C-alpha cells in the first residue's frame, strides 16, 4: 500500500480514537495526519505512533492534499463537510448514517462487497451501521451458498455505540446503583444500569426505531439483494463494548448446522467460537478490542425446519466502525 495523507474528523470521539489505534496497529503507511473536531476540542492533543498531534477545528483548508478523510462526527457534520472534503480531492469514508442509502454512495464492508468501493461518484464511501456490519459479515457466506430469504435479528448493543458521553453516564449510573443512590440519565433516555433501553429515534409511521430500519435497508444494499426480508429489534444493554446479535435466518434451500459451520470456517472476517456443549460461545467481553466477527451457537431452527439460528458478537468500535473504515481506506489505496 502506498503512503497516504489522512484526516480524521471526529478524532476526539470514541470512534476517532479507535481509528488512531487501528491505523497504528495495522501499520498503515500514514504520511501527513490531520486530527479534526469541533472548535470545542481545538488545541487538545492525541498520541499517534509515540508523537503528540494537535487537534484542529475543521476547515476546508484542512482537507487540502488529504488522500483519505475518515469521518466520525455525526450525520449533520458529515452532510455539511463530506462534500467539502471531497471537493478538495479527499476520498471521504464516512461512519455516520448521512450517506449510506444515497444511490451515488457505495456502502462497503470489505469482506462482503469490496468491488462496490470502486465507483464513488460523490467521492464518498459510507461505512454501514455497526449492527449491520457484523450481521452481513456472518451471513454473506451463507447467502452466497444458499441465498438468504429472511432474517429475524435482535441486537444487544453496547453503550460505547452511543459515544463518549453515554459511556460516562452509564459508568456514573453503575456507581450510583451500587451505592443505592438515585442515578442521573445524562444523555441516555433513562437508567441503563441494571436495565435495558430502546432509545433510538422512533419512526412514527412504522413503529420501528431508525436503528432497526437501518439494518433492513443497509443489509439489502450490501448483499445486493432487495428481496431479503429483515425483522429487527434493537436493544441497548448495560455492556461497555461489543454488540451481540441473536440471528434467525431462512434460506432459499434447507441448510444444516454442519454445512453452515463449514461455510463459516475460515470465511473472511469470521471466527467460529462454537462449542456450546462445553460452554464455549462468543461473548462481548472477549470480543472487545479484537477484530473478528465471532459466530457461535449455530443450530438448526427448532421452529422452522431448514432454517438456522446463530449468535454473532463483534467489537462495535472496531469492526463496527473504525476497523471497517480503515479497511476501506486500505482497499482504495491498495496500489
Ligand X SMILES: NC(=O)c1ccc[n+]([C@@H]2O[C@H](COP(=O)([O-])OP(=O)(O)OC[C@H]3O[C@@H](n4cnc5c(N)ncnc54)[C@H](OP(=O)(O)O)[C@@H]3O)[C@@H](O)[C@H]2O)c1
Could you say which of 65, 74, 238, 254 contacts ligand X (CB under 6 A)? 74
Q: Which of 130, 143, 199, 217 is catalytic?
A: 130
130 belongs to the catalytic site: yes
Say whether residue 155 binds ligand X (CB under 6 A): no
The Cα–Cα gap between 88 and 58 comes to 13
* Long-range interactions of 164-173: CB distance < 8 A, separation 24+: 164/13, 164/14, 167/14, 167/240, 170/238, 170/240
Looking at 59-67, 227-235, 287-295, 315-323, which segment touches ligand X (CB under 6 A)? 315-323
Say whether residue 96 binds ligand X (CB under 6 A): yes
Could you say which of 4, 6, 15, 20 contacts ligand X (CB under 6 A)? 15
**Which residue carries 430500519 as its cell?**
213
CB 249 within 8 A of CB 242: no
For residue 29 the three cell numbers come to: 503507511
Say whether residue 77 binds ligand X (CB under 6 A): yes
Say whether residue 95 binds ligand X (CB under 6 A): yes
Query: Which one, 163 or 268, has the nearer CB to ligand X?
Result: 163
CB 236 within 8 A of CB 159: yes
Query: Which one, 133 or 223, has the nearer CB to ligand X?
Result: 133
Closest CB 287 distance from ligand X, rounded Å: 13
Say whether residue 233 binds ligand X (CB under 6 A): no
Cβ neighbourhood burial of 221 (10 Å; 0-12, 13-18, 19+): buried
For residue 88 the three cell numbers come to: 478538495
Could you say which of 37, 70, 116, 170 contacts ligand X (CB under 6 A)? 37
CB 96 within 8 A of CB 117: no
Could you say which of 92, 130, 139, 247 contacts ligand X (CB under 6 A)? 130
Say whether residue 284 binds ligand X (CB under 6 A): no
Say whether residue 132 binds ligand X (CB under 6 A): no
CB 158 within 8 A of CB 242: yes
Kindly determine how many residues on this chain lie close enough to bind ligand X according to the rule CB under 6 A: 29
The Cα–Cα gap between 237 and 280 comes to 21
243 belongs to the catalytic site: yes
The Cα–Cα gap between 138 and 272 comes to 10
Could you say which of 16, 123, 141, 307 contacts ligand X (CB under 6 A)? 16
Q: Which residues bind ligand X (CB under 6 A)?
A: 9-16, 37-38, 40-41, 58, 72-75, 77, 95-96, 130, 160-161, 163-164, 316-317, 320-321
Amino acid at each position: 500500500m502506498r503512503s497516504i495523507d489522512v484526516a480524521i474528523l471526529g478524532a476526539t470521539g470514541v470512534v476517532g480514537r479507535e481509528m488512531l489505534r487501528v491505523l497504528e496497529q495495522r501499520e498503515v503507511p500514514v504520511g501527513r495526519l490531520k486530527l479534526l473536531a469541533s472548535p470545542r476540542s481545538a488545541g487538545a492533543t492525541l498520541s499517534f505512533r509515540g508523537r503528540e498531534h494537535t487537534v484542529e477545528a475543521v476547515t476546508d483548508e484542512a482537507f487540502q492534499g488529504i488522500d483519505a478523510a475518515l469521518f466520525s462526527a455525526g450525520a449533520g457534520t458529515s452532510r455539511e463537510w463530506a462534500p467539502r472534503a471531497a471537493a478538495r480531492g479527499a476520498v471521504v469514508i464516512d461512519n455516520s448514517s448521512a450517506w449510506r442509502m444515497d444511490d451515488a454512495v457505495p456502502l462497503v464492508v470489505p469482506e462482503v462487497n469490496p468491488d462496490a468501493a470502486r465507483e464513488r461518484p460523490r467521492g464518498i464511501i459510507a461505512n454501514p451501521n455497526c449492527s449491520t456490519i457484523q450481521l452481513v459479515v456472518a451471513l454473506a457466506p451463507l447467502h452466497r451458498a444458499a441465498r438468504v430469504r429472511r432474517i429475524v435479528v435482535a441486537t444487544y448493543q453496547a453503550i460505547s455505540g452511543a459515544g463518549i458521553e453515554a459511556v460516562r453516564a452509564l459508568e456514573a449510573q453503575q456507581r450510583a446503583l451500587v451505592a443505592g443512590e438515585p442515578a442521573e440519565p445524562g444523555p441516555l433516555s433513562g437508567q441503563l444500569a441494571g436495565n435495558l433501553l430502546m432509545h433510538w429515534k422512533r419512526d412514527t409511521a412504522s413503529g420501528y426505531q431508525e436503528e432497526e430500519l437501518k439494518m433492513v435497508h443497509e443489509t439489502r444494499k450490501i448483499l445486493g439483494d432487495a428481496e431479503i426480508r429483515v425483522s429487527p429489534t434493537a436493544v441497548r444493554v448495560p455492556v461497555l463494548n461489543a454488540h451481540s446479535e441473536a440471528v434467525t435466518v431462512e434460506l432459499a434451500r434447507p441448510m444444516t448446522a454442519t454445512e453452515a459451520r463449514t461455510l463459516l470456517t475460515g470465511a473472511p472476517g469470521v471466527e467460529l467460537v462454537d462449542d456450546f456443549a462445553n460452554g464455549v460461545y462468543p461473548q462481548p467481553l472477549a470480543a472487545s478490542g479484537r477484530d473478528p466477527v465471532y459466530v457461535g451457537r449455530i443450530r438448526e431452527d427448532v421452529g422452522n425446519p431448514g432454517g438456522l439460528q446463530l449468535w454473532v458478537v463483534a467489537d462495535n468500535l472496531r469492526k463496527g466502525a473504525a476497523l471497517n473504515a480503515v479497511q476501506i481506506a486500505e482497499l482504495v489505496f491498495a496500489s
